[in-house]
Structure 1
Amino acid sequence: MSIKSFAAKILARTVYNKNQAWIENPIQSQEKVFHSLVKSAKETAFGRDHGFDQIKNYEDFKQRVPIRDYEELKPYVDRIVQGEHSVLWPGLPYYFAKTSGTTSGAKYIPITKESMPFHIKAARDAILNYIHQTGKVDFVDGKMIFLQGSPILTEKNGIKLGRLSGIVAHYVPSYLQKNRMPSWETNCIDDWETKVDAIVEETIQEDMTVISGIPSWVQMYFERIKQKSSKDVGEVFKNFNLFIYGGVNFQPYRAKFKQLIGRHVDSIELFPASEGFFAYQDLQKHAGMLLLVDAGIFYEFVEADRFFEDNPTRIPLESVQLGVNYVMIISTNAGLWGYNLGDTVVFTSIKPYRITVSGRIKHFISAFGEHVIAKEVEQAMKTALDSCKATVNEFSVAPQITPPSDELPYHQWLIEFENPPNDLDLFAKILDESVQEQNSYYYDLIQGKVLQPLKIHCLSKDTFKNLMKSKGKLGGQNKVQRLANDRKLAEELLGISNS
């Protein structure tokens, strides 16, 4: 055992033991976080507007702070973007994590001096916990790759701006710098295809032991490795035994990864976002992720089935139940208050609190990390219909993750035309370009050739009506699901159309 791996094992045990304090006392930890957040933000513009000086307990907080999504919080964020101090949190944030917005362009998520360390600590603790739980530590002596966005940051009114993964790249600890790949220069390449080719060249002869990233991006890297070497990834990297991922559900990729790697490797699932680092998988034999209750985030939950009711019931962590689908609401030391992240979670364990991410509160497609929402596909359809003088009865969109003949994955649009366009290829091109214009994640995936442009499947007349009728949902307030993150609805539609 090397000195580095020996030291890592000691550190892993130390961190594991220290974390037991909040793991074993989660409600007390949340109480402490709650009071600290409210006290810290009393003199901010948001704190004054919402009477934080009058908040003594959680019930007071619920009465004064409504649930908001980004669009509803945006007026406060805009003031920070313009350089105003102490709006949502004391002072100015260190960074803005720039992400794709839903209705008003880019979202600027603040990351503060207080919140940034928890992004780094959570990622570190996930790996140290794995070492402590499994006893496997030799990987620390090999090379580690983190497929991520460019670390080049811009600046807006004195606040640095970039993608979260690019921001985090500036915080790789010194003891990992020699192990970290790719090189800084390669990591700064904007064009994804060029970047992947450069990463392959840099890593194919190295002793890669840990590989991390969003599954769709890592799959492309693995395919390039296999193409260049004519070997399974597990044979090229004989000591590769740990895959770390987050961002999308890994299950649809699992079989493909096993085929590309050629053998089993351990994996750790993470639940990070620009808004905070919420959970990580702490046990190899348990699919749930440990909720981080001592990380500067106060959690609330609303039953997903009741979320769109007037004044839905909000509950703190201590009141959650197993197996219920909840919308997760957060208040953080980056200045997000009663913030609807949009993710839904299900608790798989109470002692300790573990969750799985069950989806989004609104219909969406994010099989590849693209976060395409209904508004975007509906706007794209309108643009294409107007341009091509066509009409549709109904449509739905689903991901095709494993198409035949080794072609790239894509979004499949299942459309029942009333009056089809004269040029279906042009119609598809307009659709795809419109979605790219609205959604930067989808644009990156298309331009990086992780996805190919969308494909249209024309459905026969009355397909949607017959589907709804078969489900007893014809008429009334029942609506066809425009977006799905799996292929269940798509296969049902195809089955009816072809029958």
Structure 2
Amino acid sequence: MNSVEPWSDPGRVERYRSRVFAERARLRAAFADPAGHQQRVLEDLLAFNADTAYGRAHGFARIRTLDDWRKAVPVQDYSALAPWIERAAAGEDNVLTADKPAVFFTSSGSTGAHKKIPVTPRFMRTTFFPFYYAAWAPLIEHFPDVLARPDAVLNLKHDPIAAPPVTASGRPHVGASQVDFGSRFGEPLSAEPGTGAPWATLPVAVDAGAHLDKMYLRLRMAVESDVRCVIGINPAMVAALPYQLNLWWPRILKDIRDGTLDGQPGLLPNPQRALELQQLTRCHATIRPAHIWPNMRALFCWTTGLASLYLPRLREEFGPGVTLLPAPVAASEGPTGVALDRHPTAGSLVVTASVYEFADADQDLTPDTHTLQPHELEPGRDYHAIFSHVGGLYRYAVGDVVRVVDSEEGVPRLAYTGRNTLSNAAGERLRDAHVLRALTAALAGGGLELRNAACRVRQDGRGAPAYEFALAPHTPWTDDETDRFLGRLDRALGDESPGYRRARAERRLGSPTALRLPADAFARDWQESVAAGIRPTQVKDRLFRQDPAQWRRLTGRTPE
């Protein structure tokens, strides 16, 4: 099996660029006949997996059309497919797919429980790799210098692991960023930008679960390089970087001066660089990435959801003119949209990857939920994303809600708006997207900014449920500003959700309240979550936080 081509190979960059642009061109060409490609994806998954246990149980051999598919297979989430997946993870062949899963991706989902997502060679070849390569096209097309040197990119999500945990059948059960696609799937060009940097493979031994130690060492080494791009995918990882720089700054300076890695010998002393960095401390009370990497060009991560509240200011931390490029609308289970240009939030539906169906986001998903095809979607509306692909996930409700931004070349462009989890204490049926849009409107109405926000349901003085918001303002708010903000937020939530408006009018739901937190509260909370053993890629922004321990850790207050 081919291994990954090293970034130090002189021809590697050109071969990589050619593959990336070719995959984008193929996807764009497919937009000329999206319905035809959707039918071909359906025919392929049916033919390939007809003789599996799942295929026989659901009559794959008799299915010809999307209507047949809808009648034969229910809309389902992970819990519904879990018994089938567990059989495959235990080593049984031909359960969901004719291909044997080569690896099982982890996914934390909204509950924090680790899923086992079966990943087969056929899925990678037909569904994953085409969108995966195309996703990098805007970055390397417009910022070619990020590929000029292996250390020009700080890839925060890259986390190779020598001895991965395995399923009962011995297959690796890891995150996508921990898999060597070259050796596992024969894709020698698959390594992402930044994976050839000196810190990609740490020169000292670190326990696999010591995530903060690994992050420190990579950051300490990257501070000595001229980094041009940061890749995070999960924007919370990018937001944590400025906090970590200041938290670890004295330790970083000492290590650079001494040539050590957290006190251990490993690199050459660099007193000149240490002196340059020390000068920054004399000039700036807060060290920013822009001070250390003045040639920074781009950040690559999700740009919607809660990140839309803080990314504009976060971008300034990395330097004037730094571009935000959106990572794909995708999950461990599969892709939905990928940005093929520099659109700030949305990606085109990957019509060649899966059979896509959608359902109105305000309705509850059931096995027989009425679904829409891509051409039936309306701009400005929110939808549950449901997909089926050859890798064994059939009519799978991934749990993400997407918003149709517009249509390009006859194909909808989609932005992720949040999870489909409902908060429904008094019939208000609030989703992430409702609260985020209300927050955005309430902030704009007073010229206010937040670094991040979360909320929970509490009991007000009358014993009625009410929403309490934990807010980390960018700059301090006065009491008057906070009160006015809460009034605007209350009205905006009513505009977003008729159920919220009725519940407030009937006094079944109390008025919202706020806890103003220090500016770094969410960064500290993120850091503590990683310190507790959660992989950084899985510590994501969460709006609804009903768990008392999580609320106490974030706010420092015990919920009533």
Both proteins in one fold, TM over 0.5: yes
Identify the residue that residue 108 of structure 1 maps to in structure 2: 116
Identify the residue that residue 327 of structure 1 maps to in structure 2: 384
CA pair 331-344 structure 1, distance change in 2 beyond 3 A: same
Identify the residue that residue 394 of structure 1 maps to in structure 2: 465
Contact 2:118–2:392 (CA under 8 A) maintained in structure 1: yes
Contact 1:112–1:334 (CA under 8 A) maintained in structure 2: yes
Contact 1:222–1:260 (CA under 8 A) maintained in structure 2: yes
Contact 1:5–1:138 (CA under 8 A) maintained in structure 2: no
Report the alpha carbon displacement of residue 128 of structure 1 after superposing the two structures with TM.
2.0
SS of the residue corresponding to residue 256 of structure 1 reads helix
Identify the residue that residue 352 of structure 2 maps to in structure 1: 294
Which residue of the other structure, out of 11, 33, 51, is the alignment partner of 1:25? Answer: 33
Q: For 1:35 and 1:314, how far apart are their aligned partners in 2? A: 19
Which residue of the other structure, out of 339, 342, 351, is the alignment partner of 2:396? Answer: 339
CA pair 240-8 structure 1, distance change in 2 beyond 3 A: farther
Report the alpha carbon displacement of residue 326 of structure 1 after superposing the two structures with TM.
0.9
SS of the residue corresponding to residue 172 of structure 2 reads strand
CA pair 92-188 structure 1, distance change in 2 beyond 3 A: farther
Q: What CA deviation, in whole Å up to 9, does each residue of 1:275-306 have, x standing for no partner?
A: 012222223245321221112x1111111123
CA pair 139-12 structure 1, distance change in 2 beyond 3 A: same
AA paired with 1:355? L
Identify the residue that residue 428 of structure 1 maps to in structure 2: none
Q: For 2:154 and 2:172, how far apart are their aligned partners in 1? A: 25
SS of the residue corresponding to residue 74 of structure 2 reads coil
Greater fraction of residues in strand: 1
Identify the residue that residue 44 of structure 1 maps to in structure 2: 52
Which residue of the other structure, out of 317, 325, 342, is the alignment partner of 1:284? Answer: 342
Q: For 1:22 and 1:13, how far apart are their aligned partners in 2? A: 14
CA pair 165-8 structure 1, distance change in 2 beyond 3 A: closer
Equivalent pairs: percent with the same residue? 19
Which residue of the other structure, out of 318, 322, 333, is the alignment partner of 1:275? Answer: 333
Contact 2:290–2:319 (CA under 8 A) maintained in structure 1: yes
Which residue of the other structure, out of 74, 81, 92, is the alignment partner of 1:73? Answer: 81
Q: For 1:443 and 1:124, how far apart are their aligned partners in 2? A: 20
Report the alpha carbon displacement of residue 88 of structure 1 after superposing the two structures with TM.
0.8
SS of the residue corresponding to residue 116 of structure 2 reads strand
SS of the residue corresponding to residue 122 of structure 2 reads coil
SS of the residue corresponding to residue 159 of structure 1 reads coil
Report the alpha carbon displacement of residue 359 of structure 1 after superposing the two structures with TM.
2.0
SS of the residue corresponding to residue 272 of structure 1 reads strand
Identify the residue that residue 476 of structure 1 maps to in structure 2: none
Give structure 2 stretches of 5+ with no counterpart.
1-9, 250-276, 281-286, 423-430, 437-453, 477-508, 511-524, 541-549
RMSD: 4.2
Q: What CA deviation, in whole Å up to 9, does each residue of 1:59-113 have, x standing for no partner?
A: 1111110101111111111211221111111132111112236679431111111
Q: For 1:220 and 1:358, how far apart are their aligned partners in 2? A: 21
Identify the residue that residue 154 of structure 1 maps to in structure 2: 165
Whether 1:234 and 2:290 are equivalent positions in the alignment is: yes
Report the alpha carbon displacement of residue 344 of structure 1 after superposing the two structures with TM.
1.1
Identify the residue that residue 91 of structure 1 maps to in structure 2: 99
Contact 1:139–1:239 (CA under 8 A) maintained in structure 2: no
AA paired with 2:555? K
Identify the residue that residue 62 of structure 1 maps to in structure 2: 70
Contact 1:365–1:398 (CA under 8 A) maintained in structure 2: no
Give structure 1 stretches of 5+ with no counterpart.
368-372, 382-390, 406-415, 418-431, 461-499
Contact 2:101–2:119 (CA under 8 A) maintained in structure 1: yes
SS of the residue corresponding to residue 184 of structure 1 reads coil
SS of the residue corresponding to residue 324 of structure 2 reads strand
Q: For 1:232 and 1:299, how far apart are their aligned partners in 2? A: 42
The farther-off stretch of 217-226 and 198-207 is 217-226
Q: What CA deviation, in whole Å up to 9, does each residue of 1:422-471 have, x standing for no partner?
A: xxxxxxxxxx9xx98x996799759xxx99813266999xxxxxxxxxxx
Identify the residue that residue 322 of structure 2 maps to in structure 1: 265
CA pair 252-189 structure 1, distance change in 2 beyond 3 A: farther
CA pair 107-444 structure 1, distance change in 2 beyond 3 A: closer
Which residue of the other structure, out of 124, 128, 149, is the alignment partner of 2:133? Answer: 124
- Matched positions, count: 411
Q: For 1:451 and 1:265, how far apart are their aligned partners in 2? A: 34
Identify the residue that residue 184 of structure 1 maps to in structure 2: 201
SS of the residue corresponding to residue 106 of structure 1 reads coil
The farther-off stretch of 255-264 and 156-165 is 255-264
Report the alpha carbon displacement of residue 312 of structure 1 after superposing the two structures with TM.
3.1
SS of the residue corresponding to residue 208 of structure 1 reads coil
SS of the residue corresponding to residue 91 of structure 2 reads coil
Q: What CA deviation, in whole Å up to 9, does each residue of 1:192-227 have, x standing for no partner?
A: 322222112110011212211122112222333356
AA paired with 1:180? A
Whether 1:454 and 2:554 are equivalent positions in the alignment is: yes
AA paired with 1:45? A
TM-score under structure 2 length normalisation: 0.63
Identify the residue that residue 256 of structure 2 maps to in structure 1: none
Identify the residue that residue 310 of structure 2 maps to in structure 1: 253
Report the alpha carbon displacement of residue 151 of structure 1 after superposing the two structures with TM.
2.6
CA pair 82-104 structure 1, distance change in 2 beyond 3 A: farther
Contact 2:399–2:420 (CA under 8 A) maintained in structure 1: yes
Contact 1:148–1:165 (CA under 8 A) maintained in structure 2: yes
AA paired with 1:63? K
TM-score under structure 1 length normalisation: 0.70
AA paired with 2:244? R
Q: For 1:61 and 1:311, how far apart are their aligned partners in 2? A: 12
CA pair 275-254 structure 1, distance change in 2 beyond 3 A: same
CA pair 226-23 structure 1, distance change in 2 beyond 3 A: farther
Q: For 1:451 and 1:210, how far apart are their aligned partners in 2? A: 33
Contact 2:304–2:345 (CA under 8 A) maintained in structure 1: no
Identify the residue that residue 211 of structure 1 maps to in structure 2: 230
CA pair 206-148 structure 1, distance change in 2 beyond 3 A: same
CA pair 102-354 structure 1, distance change in 2 beyond 3 A: closer
Q: For 1:72 and 1:439, how far apart are their aligned partners in 2? A: 28
Q: For 2:556 and 2:299, how far apart are their aligned partners in 1? A: 34
